Structure 1
Amino acid sequence: MTAAQADLLIDRPEVTDGAALWRIAKDSGTLDLNSSYSYLLWCRDFAGTSAVARGADGAPVGFVTGYVRPERPRTLLVWQVAVNAAYRGHGVAAALLDGLTARLGAGHGIASVETTITPGNTASERLFTSYAARHGAPVTREVLFDSGLFPDGPHQPEVLYRIGPLTPHSSH
Protein backbone atom coordinates (compact mmCIF):
# COMPACT_ATOMS: atom_id res chain seq x y z
CA MET A 1 0.00 0.00 0.00
CA THR A 2 1.39 3.40 -0.95
CA ALA A 3 1.30 6.51 1.21
CA ALA A 4 -1.52 7.87 -0.95
CA GLN A 5 -3.59 4.73 -0.36
CA ALA A 6 -2.94 4.79 3.40
CA ASP A 7 -4.53 8.22 3.63
CA LEU A 8 -7.64 7.20 1.72
CA LEU A 9 -10.93 5.69 2.81
CA ILE A 10 -12.66 3.37 0.32
CA ASP A 11 -16.37 3.97 0.83
CA ARG A 12 -19.80 3.74 -0.79
CA PRO A 13 -20.77 6.86 -2.75
CA GLU A 14 -23.59 9.08 -1.54
CA VAL A 15 -25.86 11.30 -3.65
CA THR A 16 -23.89 14.33 -2.43
CA ASP A 17 -20.80 12.82 -4.14
CA GLY A 18 -22.42 12.90 -7.60
CA ALA A 19 -21.05 16.32 -8.57
CA ALA A 20 -17.51 15.36 -7.53
CA LEU A 21 -17.69 12.11 -9.53
CA TRP A 22 -18.85 14.07 -12.58
CA ARG A 23 -15.91 16.50 -12.19
CA ILE A 24 -13.38 13.68 -11.76
CA ALA A 25 -14.76 11.96 -14.89
CA LYS A 26 -14.69 15.25 -16.82
CA ASP A 27 -11.12 16.00 -15.77
CA SER A 28 -9.94 12.47 -16.64
CA GLY A 29 -9.79 13.36 -20.32
CA THR A 30 -10.34 9.71 -21.27
CA LEU A 31 -13.83 8.73 -20.07
CA ASP A 32 -17.04 9.27 -21.97
CA LEU A 33 -18.59 12.01 -19.86
CA ASN A 34 -22.20 11.33 -18.92
CA SER A 35 -24.63 14.01 -17.78
CA SER A 36 -24.21 15.34 -14.25
CA TYR A 37 -27.71 14.01 -13.59
CA SER A 38 -26.58 10.46 -14.40
CA TYR A 39 -23.83 10.63 -11.75
CA LEU A 40 -26.39 11.74 -9.16
CA LEU A 41 -28.65 8.83 -10.12
CA TRP A 42 -25.71 6.43 -10.08
CA CYS A 43 -24.80 7.51 -6.54
CA ARG A 44 -28.40 6.91 -5.48
CA ASP A 45 -29.31 3.72 -7.33
CA PHE A 46 -25.97 1.91 -7.70
CA ALA A 47 -24.09 3.00 -4.57
CA GLY A 48 -24.04 -0.59 -3.37
CA THR A 49 -22.07 -1.70 -6.44
CA SER A 50 -19.80 1.35 -6.67
CA ALA A 51 -17.02 2.83 -4.55
CA VAL A 52 -15.30 6.14 -3.89
CA ALA A 53 -11.87 6.88 -2.50
CA ARG A 54 -12.05 9.77 -0.05
CA GLY A 55 -9.15 12.01 0.84
CA ALA A 56 -8.36 13.29 4.34
CA ASP A 57 -11.11 15.93 4.03
CA GLY A 58 -13.71 13.30 3.08
CA ALA A 59 -14.06 14.51 -0.52
CA PRO A 60 -13.96 11.95 -3.33
CA VAL A 61 -10.61 11.71 -5.15
CA GLY A 62 -11.47 8.65 -7.22
CA PHE A 63 -14.32 6.32 -7.99
CA VAL A 64 -15.42 3.12 -9.61
CA THR A 65 -19.01 2.72 -10.77
CA GLY A 66 -20.50 -0.65 -11.52
CA TYR A 67 -23.56 -2.82 -11.41
CA VAL A 68 -24.44 -6.47 -11.09
CA ARG A 69 -25.57 -7.81 -14.45
CA PRO A 70 -29.23 -8.88 -14.25
CA GLU A 71 -28.62 -11.92 -16.48
CA ARG A 72 -25.41 -12.84 -14.61
CA PRO A 73 -25.97 -12.05 -10.92
CA ARG A 74 -22.44 -13.16 -9.95
CA THR A 75 -20.84 -10.72 -12.44
CA LEU A 76 -19.92 -7.11 -11.70
CA LEU A 77 -19.84 -4.86 -14.76
CA VAL A 78 -17.41 -1.99 -14.09
CA TRP A 79 -18.77 1.08 -15.86
CA GLN A 80 -16.17 3.74 -15.11
CA VAL A 81 -12.98 4.13 -13.08
CA ALA A 82 -11.38 7.54 -12.59
CA VAL A 83 -8.89 9.09 -10.20
CA ASN A 84 -8.13 12.76 -9.57
CA ALA A 85 -4.89 13.75 -11.35
CA ALA A 86 -3.08 14.46 -8.06
CA TYR A 87 -3.67 10.86 -6.91
CA ARG A 88 -2.88 8.98 -10.15
CA GLY A 89 0.00 6.53 -10.23
CA HIS A 90 -0.34 5.59 -6.55
CA GLY A 91 -2.52 2.48 -6.84
CA VAL A 92 -5.79 4.24 -6.00
CA ALA A 93 -7.73 2.68 -8.89
CA ALA A 94 -6.42 -0.78 -7.95
CA ALA A 95 -7.40 -0.22 -4.30
CA LEU A 96 -10.89 0.85 -5.41
CA LEU A 97 -11.37 -2.26 -7.56
CA ASP A 98 -10.00 -4.59 -4.90
CA GLY A 99 -12.12 -2.99 -2.18
CA LEU A 100 -15.30 -3.05 -4.22
CA THR A 101 -14.95 -6.63 -5.39
CA ALA A 102 -14.03 -7.81 -1.88
CA ARG A 103 -17.23 -6.17 -0.57
CA LEU A 104 -19.36 -7.63 -3.38
CA GLY A 105 -17.70 -11.04 -3.19
CA ALA A 106 -18.65 -11.29 0.47
CA GLY A 107 -22.12 -9.76 0.14
CA HIS A 108 -23.27 -10.86 -3.32
CA GLY A 109 -21.06 -13.79 -4.27
CA ILE A 110 -19.47 -11.89 -7.17
CA ALA A 111 -17.20 -14.33 -8.99
CA SER A 112 -16.28 -12.38 -12.13
CA VAL A 113 -15.75 -8.85 -13.38
CA GLU A 114 -16.48 -7.40 -16.80
CA THR A 115 -15.52 -4.04 -18.25
CA THR A 116 -15.11 -2.50 -21.68
CA ILE A 117 -11.96 -0.75 -22.83
CA THR A 118 -11.31 1.09 -26.07
CA PRO A 119 -8.20 -0.01 -27.98
CA GLY A 120 -5.15 1.99 -27.00
CA ASN A 121 -6.32 2.81 -23.46
CA THR A 122 -3.19 1.28 -21.97
CA ALA A 123 -3.83 2.59 -18.44
CA SER A 124 -7.15 0.72 -18.26
CA GLU A 125 -5.69 -2.35 -19.93
CA ARG A 126 -2.91 -2.44 -17.29
CA LEU A 127 -5.35 -1.80 -14.43
CA PHE A 128 -7.62 -4.71 -15.35
CA THR A 129 -4.94 -7.20 -16.40
CA SER A 130 -3.04 -6.57 -13.16
CA TYR A 131 -6.33 -6.93 -11.24
CA ALA A 132 -6.83 -10.32 -12.91
CA ALA A 133 -3.29 -11.38 -12.01
CA ARG A 134 -3.73 -10.34 -8.35
CA HIS A 135 -6.93 -12.38 -8.18
CA GLY A 136 -5.64 -15.45 -10.01
CA ALA A 137 -8.21 -15.05 -12.77
CA PRO A 138 -7.99 -15.52 -16.52
CA VAL A 139 -8.90 -12.67 -18.89
CA THR A 140 -10.76 -13.05 -22.18
CA ARG A 141 -11.32 -10.23 -24.66
CA GLU A 142 -13.81 -9.76 -27.49
CA VAL A 143 -15.37 -6.77 -29.23
CA LEU A 144 -18.68 -6.06 -27.49
CA PHE A 145 -19.78 -2.97 -29.43
CA ASP A 146 -18.31 -2.31 -32.86
CA SER A 147 -17.65 1.27 -33.96
CA GLY A 148 -20.64 1.25 -36.30
CA LEU A 149 -23.14 0.78 -33.46
CA PHE A 150 -22.54 4.26 -32.00
CA PRO A 151 -24.97 6.83 -33.44
CA ASP A 152 -23.13 9.96 -32.28
CA GLY A 153 -20.15 10.09 -34.60
CA PRO A 154 -16.83 8.32 -34.65
CA HIS A 155 -16.30 6.05 -31.67
CA GLN A 156 -13.72 3.33 -31.17
CA PRO A 157 -15.00 -0.18 -30.56
CA GLU A 158 -15.58 -1.21 -26.96
CA VAL A 159 -13.67 -4.38 -26.14
CA LEU A 160 -15.22 -6.53 -23.43
CA TYR A 161 -12.77 -7.84 -20.83
CA ARG A 162 -14.10 -10.81 -18.86
CA ILE A 163 -12.13 -11.56 -15.72
CA GLY A 164 -12.95 -14.69 -13.80
CA PRO A 165 -13.56 -16.82 -12.05
CA LEU A 166 -11.94 -14.87 -9.25
CA THR A 167 -9.94 -16.89 -6.74
CA PRO A 168 -11.98 -16.76 -3.49
CA HIS A 169 -8.98 -16.45 -1.17
CA SER A 170 -7.56 -13.52 -3.15
CA SER A 171 -10.04 -10.91 -1.89
CA HIS A 172 -8.28 -7.98 -0.29
Structure 2
Amino acid sequence: MNARNDLLWDKLELRHPLPTDGYALNQLVAASPPLDTNSVYCNLLQCQHFADTSVAALLNGKLVGFISAYCPPSDSETLFVWQVVVSEQLRGSGLAKRMLNWLIEQPATEHAQRLTTSITPDNRASWALFESFARDCGAIPVKSMLFESQRHFAGAHADEYLLQIAPLPNRPGKPMALHLDDLRGSLRSSNRRWLG
Protein backbone atom coordinates (compact mmCIF):
# COMPACT_ATOMS: atom_id res chain seq x y z
CA MET A 1 0.00 0.00 0.00
CA ASN A 2 1.47 3.35 -0.95
CA ALA A 3 1.28 6.59 1.04
CA ARG A 4 -1.36 8.02 -1.30
CA ASN A 5 -3.68 5.09 -0.62
CA ASP A 6 -2.98 5.23 3.13
CA LEU A 7 -4.15 8.84 3.17
CA LEU A 8 -7.13 7.94 1.03
CA TRP A 9 -8.26 5.12 3.33
CA ASP A 10 -7.96 7.42 6.36
CA LYS A 11 -10.54 9.75 4.80
CA LEU A 12 -12.76 7.05 3.32
CA GLU A 13 -16.06 6.08 4.92
CA LEU A 14 -17.72 2.76 4.07
CA ARG A 15 -21.31 2.38 5.20
CA HIS A 16 -24.66 1.00 4.18
CA PRO A 17 -26.45 3.32 1.75
CA LEU A 18 -29.25 5.69 2.69
CA PRO A 19 -32.17 6.72 0.46
CA THR A 20 -30.53 10.16 0.23
CA ASP A 21 -27.66 8.47 -1.67
CA GLY A 22 -29.97 7.49 -4.55
CA TYR A 23 -29.51 10.59 -6.70
CA ALA A 24 -25.72 10.66 -6.19
CA LEU A 25 -25.62 6.95 -7.14
CA ASN A 26 -27.57 7.69 -10.31
CA GLN A 27 -25.09 10.42 -11.26
CA LEU A 28 -22.05 8.26 -10.42
CA VAL A 29 -23.31 5.39 -12.63
CA ALA A 30 -24.19 7.81 -15.46
CA ALA A 31 -20.59 9.11 -15.33
CA SER A 32 -19.21 5.55 -15.51
CA PRO A 33 -19.90 4.07 -18.94
CA PRO A 34 -20.41 1.34 -19.99
CA LEU A 35 -22.40 0.62 -16.82
CA ASP A 36 -26.14 0.26 -17.34
CA THR A 37 -27.98 3.26 -15.96
CA ASN A 38 -31.24 3.00 -14.06
CA SER A 39 -33.84 5.57 -13.11
CA VAL A 40 -33.28 7.67 -10.00
CA TYR A 41 -36.31 5.89 -8.55
CA CYS A 42 -34.62 2.51 -9.06
CA ASN A 43 -31.48 3.81 -7.35
CA LEU A 44 -33.55 5.14 -4.45
CA LEU A 45 -35.07 1.67 -4.03
CA GLN A 46 -31.62 0.07 -4.16
CA CYS A 47 -30.50 2.40 -1.37
CA GLN A 48 -33.57 1.62 0.72
CA HIS A 49 -34.64 -1.97 0.03
CA PHE A 50 -31.15 -3.44 -0.40
CA ALA A 51 -29.28 -1.20 2.03
CA ASP A 52 -28.22 -4.01 4.38
CA THR A 53 -26.55 -5.93 1.56
CA SER A 54 -25.04 -2.97 -0.29
CA VAL A 55 -22.20 -0.55 0.43
CA ALA A 56 -21.61 3.14 -0.21
CA ALA A 57 -18.09 4.61 -0.19
CA LEU A 58 -17.75 8.30 0.64
CA LEU A 59 -14.67 10.48 0.47
CA ASN A 60 -15.00 13.86 2.15
CA GLY A 61 -18.77 13.33 2.14
CA LYS A 62 -18.98 12.64 -1.61
CA LEU A 63 -20.15 9.29 -3.00
CA VAL A 64 -17.16 7.76 -4.82
CA GLY A 65 -18.08 4.08 -4.89
CA PHE A 66 -21.05 1.80 -4.55
CA ILE A 67 -21.88 -1.90 -4.65
CA SER A 68 -25.50 -2.94 -5.15
CA ALA A 69 -26.06 -6.47 -3.92
CA TYR A 70 -28.77 -8.69 -2.47
CA CYS A 71 -29.50 -12.22 -1.33
CA PRO A 72 -32.04 -13.80 -3.70
CA PRO A 73 -35.28 -14.64 -1.84
CA SER A 74 -34.93 -18.32 -2.76
CA ASP A 75 -31.24 -18.59 -1.78
CA SER A 76 -30.11 -16.95 1.45
CA GLU A 77 -26.66 -18.56 1.09
CA THR A 78 -25.86 -16.51 -2.03
CA LEU A 79 -24.92 -12.84 -2.21
CA PHE A 80 -25.58 -11.59 -5.74
CA VAL A 81 -23.59 -8.48 -6.70
CA TRP A 82 -25.69 -6.50 -9.16
CA GLN A 83 -23.40 -3.58 -9.89
CA VAL A 84 -20.02 -2.19 -8.80
CA VAL A 85 -19.17 1.43 -9.54
CA VAL A 86 -16.09 3.48 -8.60
CA SER A 87 -15.56 7.11 -9.54
CA GLU A 88 -13.05 7.68 -12.33
CA GLN A 89 -10.42 9.30 -10.12
CA LEU A 90 -10.33 6.29 -7.77
CA ARG A 91 -10.29 3.45 -10.32
CA GLY A 92 -7.27 1.24 -9.80
CA SER A 93 -6.92 2.24 -6.13
CA GLY A 94 -8.33 -1.01 -4.76
CA LEU A 95 -11.57 0.60 -3.61
CA ALA A 96 -13.83 -1.94 -5.34
CA LYS A 97 -12.17 -4.89 -3.60
CA ARG A 98 -12.16 -2.99 -0.30
CA MET A 99 -15.94 -2.53 -0.63
CA LEU A 100 -16.44 -6.23 -1.45
CA ASN A 101 -14.44 -7.29 1.60
CA TRP A 102 -16.38 -4.88 3.83
CA LEU A 103 -19.67 -6.12 2.45
CA ILE A 104 -19.11 -9.83 3.05
CA GLU A 105 -18.33 -9.10 6.71
CA GLN A 106 -21.67 -7.40 7.45
CA PRO A 107 -24.39 -9.08 9.57
CA ALA A 108 -26.88 -9.24 6.68
CA THR A 109 -24.41 -11.21 4.53
CA GLU A 110 -22.81 -13.45 7.15
CA HIS A 111 -24.91 -16.47 6.11
CA ALA A 112 -23.88 -16.17 2.46
CA GLN A 113 -21.57 -19.03 1.55
CA ARG A 114 -20.97 -17.82 -2.01
CA LEU A 115 -20.85 -14.61 -3.98
CA THR A 116 -22.24 -14.44 -7.51
CA THR A 117 -22.29 -11.73 -10.14
CA SER A 118 -22.92 -11.41 -13.86
CA ILE A 119 -20.31 -10.00 -16.24
CA THR A 120 -20.19 -9.36 -19.98
CA PRO A 121 -17.27 -10.99 -21.85
CA ASP A 122 -15.54 -7.68 -22.62
CA ASN A 123 -15.68 -6.19 -19.11
CA ARG A 124 -12.02 -6.81 -18.26
CA ALA A 125 -12.08 -4.66 -15.14
CA SER A 126 -14.89 -6.70 -13.56
CA TRP A 127 -13.29 -10.04 -14.47
CA ALA A 128 -10.01 -8.87 -12.94
CA LEU A 129 -11.73 -7.60 -9.78
CA PHE A 130 -13.72 -10.75 -9.07
CA GLU A 131 -10.95 -13.17 -10.03
CA SER A 132 -8.57 -11.29 -7.72
CA PHE A 133 -11.21 -11.30 -4.96
CA ALA A 134 -11.61 -15.08 -5.41
CA ARG A 135 -7.83 -15.60 -5.16
CA ASP A 136 -7.68 -13.51 -1.99
CA CYS A 137 -10.49 -15.60 -0.49
CA GLY A 138 -8.85 -18.87 -1.50
CA ALA A 139 -12.09 -19.53 -3.35
CA ILE A 140 -12.91 -21.20 -6.64
CA PRO A 141 -14.51 -19.00 -9.34
CA VAL A 142 -16.88 -20.88 -11.65
CA LYS A 143 -18.17 -19.28 -14.87
CA SER A 144 -21.37 -20.25 -16.72
CA MET A 145 -23.78 -18.65 -19.19
CA LEU A 146 -26.60 -16.68 -17.55
CA PHE A 147 -28.27 -14.58 -20.27
CA GLU A 148 -27.54 -14.93 -23.98
CA SER A 149 -27.37 -11.86 -26.21
CA GLN A 150 -29.78 -13.07 -28.89
CA ARG A 151 -32.03 -15.20 -26.74
CA HIS A 152 -32.57 -12.82 -23.82
CA PHE A 153 -31.62 -9.35 -25.08
CA ALA A 154 -32.72 -9.58 -28.74
CA GLY A 155 -29.12 -8.77 -29.65
CA ALA A 156 -29.26 -5.36 -27.94
CA HIS A 157 -26.88 -6.35 -25.12
CA ALA A 158 -23.85 -8.62 -24.82
CA ASP A 159 -24.00 -12.06 -23.22
CA GLU A 160 -24.00 -12.05 -19.43
CA TYR A 161 -21.95 -14.75 -17.72
CA LEU A 162 -22.61 -15.82 -14.16
CA LEU A 163 -19.49 -15.97 -11.99
CA GLN A 164 -19.80 -17.87 -8.71
CA ILE A 165 -17.17 -17.62 -5.98
CA ALA A 166 -17.12 -20.02 -3.03
CA PRO A 167 -16.38 -20.46 -0.25
CA LEU A 168 -16.38 -16.96 1.21
CA PRO A 169 -13.92 -16.42 4.07
CA ASN A 170 -14.78 -16.53 7.77
CA ARG A 171 -17.78 -18.79 7.32
CA PRO A 172 -18.54 -21.85 9.43
CA GLY A 173 -16.44 -24.78 8.26
CA LYS A 174 -17.77 -26.50 5.17
CA PRO A 175 -15.50 -28.87 3.26
CA MET A 176 -14.39 -27.64 -0.17
CA ALA A 177 -15.96 -30.75 -1.74
CA LEU A 178 -19.39 -29.63 -0.51
CA HIS A 179 -18.84 -26.15 -1.97
CA LEU A 180 -17.98 -27.75 -5.30
CA ASP A 181 -21.13 -29.91 -5.12
CA ASP A 182 -23.19 -26.78 -4.32
CA LEU A 183 -21.65 -24.91 -7.26
CA ARG A 184 -22.28 -27.80 -9.65
CA GLY A 185 -25.88 -28.10 -8.45
CA SER A 186 -26.56 -24.38 -8.73
CA LEU A 187 -25.02 -24.33 -12.21
CA ARG A 188 -27.33 -27.13 -13.32
CA SER A 189 -30.40 -25.43 -11.85
CA SER A 190 -29.31 -22.00 -13.18
CA ASN A 191 -28.93 -23.41 -16.68
CA ARG A 192 -32.36 -24.99 -16.48
CA ARG A 193 -33.94 -21.86 -15.07
CA TRP A 194 -32.29 -19.28 -17.32
CA LEU A 195 -31.52 -21.13 -20.52
CA GLY A 196 -34.12 -23.88 -20.63
TM-score clears 0.5: yes
Q: 1:42 to 1:131 in 2, by over 3 A?
A: same
1:78 aligns to what?
A: 81
- Spell out the pairing of 1:1-172 with structure 2 (5 A cutoff): 2-3=5-6, 4-56=8-60, 58-104=61-107, 108-148=110-150, 149-151=152-154, 154-168=156-170
Q: More helix by proportion, 1 or 2?
A: 2
- Unaligned runs of 5+ residues in structure 1 are none
Q: Partner letter of residue 9 of structure 2?
A: Q
The answer to whether the 8 Å contact 1:104/1:110 transfers is: no
Measured in 2, the distance between the counterparts of 1:33 and 1:143 equals 23
Question: Any runs of at least 4 consecutive aligned residues in structure 1 with deviations exceeding 4 A, and if so which?
Answer: none
What is the CA RMSD across the aligned residues, in angstroms?
1.5
Note the C-alpha offset of 1:35.
1.0
Relative to the length of structure 1, the TM-score reads 0.91
- Unaligned runs of 5+ residues in structure 2 are 172-196
The answer to whether the 8 Å contact 1:9/1:55 transfers is: yes
Q: CA offsets, 1:71-114, max 9 Å, x none?
A: 21011000000011111111111111110011147x53111100
The answer to whether the 8 Å contact 1:5/1:90 transfers is: no
The answer to whether the 8 Å contact 2:104/2:110 transfers is: no
The answer to whether the 8 Å contact 2:118/2:160 transfers is: yes
Q: Partner letter of residue 47 of structure 1?
A: A
The answer to whether the 8 Å contact 1:63/1:83 transfers is: yes
Three-state SS of the structure 2 residue aligned to 1:44 is: helix
Q: Partner letter of residue 118 of structure 1?
A: T
Measured in 2, the distance between the counterparts of 1:99 and 1:31 equals 22
Q: Partner letter of residue 125 of structure 1?
A: W
Relative to the length of structure 2, the TM-score reads 0.80
Measured in 1, the distance between the counterparts of 2:103 and 2:50 equals 12
